[in-house]
Amino acid sequence: MNLVGKIFVVLIFVFSLVFMSLAMAVYATHKNWREDVTRAPDKVGGGKELGLKYQLDNAKKENQRLKDEREAVIKQLESERIAKAQALAKLRTAYDVKEKDLRQLESGYAREKKDTREAVAATNATQKNASDYYQELQKQLAATLEAQQDRDKYFKDLVQKDDELNQARNELEQLRNRDTELSKDLGKYKEMSRWFGLPGPDGDYKSKTPPRVDGLVTATPGAGLVEIDLGSDQGIRKGHRLEVYRIGGGQNAYVGRVEVMRVAATSAVCKIDPKYQNSNVMVGDRVGSRID
């Protein structure tokens, strides 16, 4: 073996080590997304979190619990509102009665005061009667003042109840915001399920958008049918539409589109869509959900 042959041997050995390192790095970073979605509670541990499917179920239960709490709060607020309205009406009626009594007392006090001034000039007896009546009037005024104090107390209680109502409204708004956040999280989970070709929370298997896959045409039996090496294990389902392209000469050539008709675990039979066919589909052509 000459010097050039030895150099090539060394280069081949070095490149073998480099590609082996790259292969190990790719394998080490591989992550099983399907397991992350379907991991059961009894398999959680060792740094592994609960599967996204079970997390969604827990989120649904929490969302329902929050909805029930919200309904209970709304009913409680409505009953408190009715009770407060009734109490306010009662206070207003009592206030009107007391105010009417006060006006009558003030009017009577003015008349009696005038009569008292006239009676002083007449006789001492009239003055005594007027004095007695004045004392009675003072009692009535004291009673009126007490009624006003009671009215102020009722108004204070009403203000306190109004503050409690505003606090309950704030709590209701927080529950509504929480419900909005849970709805957004549910939308994100649906989008992730569609991305990986998994069933969504409502059991939707009818989407014609396949997951991101890349495979080969393995057979062309004719009659507009082809076989591919992608199946249900890769998330392929009946009705999915895939693109066919051919790599050669340093260029990618678009061949056409196929629709999945029958699906097995690792293979599928597809029908060629003539509307998108640019050339005949051949064994070895690439097939995928999108053209890179």
Q: Find the range with the poorest average confidence among 12-26, 45-59, 67-81, 84-98.
A: 45-59
Residues facing residue 84 across a β-bridge: none
Q: Highest mean pLDDT: which of 112-121, 162-171, 206-215, 271-280?
A: 271-280
Euclidean distance between CA atoms 170 and 163, whole angstroms: 11
Rg, C-alpha atoms of the chain: 44
DSSP string spanning 70-96?
HHHHHHHHHHHHHHHHHHHHHHHHHHH
Distances in Å between the alpha carbon of 93 and those of 88, 97, 98, 105? 9, 6, 9, 18
| Cβ–Cβ < 8 Å for 259, 241 | yes
pLDDT at 111: 87
Mean pLDDT of 196-201: 48
Domain boundaries, the chain: 54-193, 214-288
For residue 196, the model assigns a pLDDT of: 47
CATH 2.30.30.240 fits 214-288, yes or no: no
pLDDT tens digits for range 74-119: 999 999 999 999 999 999 999 999 999 999 998 888 888 888 888 7
Q: What is the pLDDT of residues 215-254, one digit of tens each?
A: 999 999 888 899 999 999 888 999 999 999 988 766 678 9
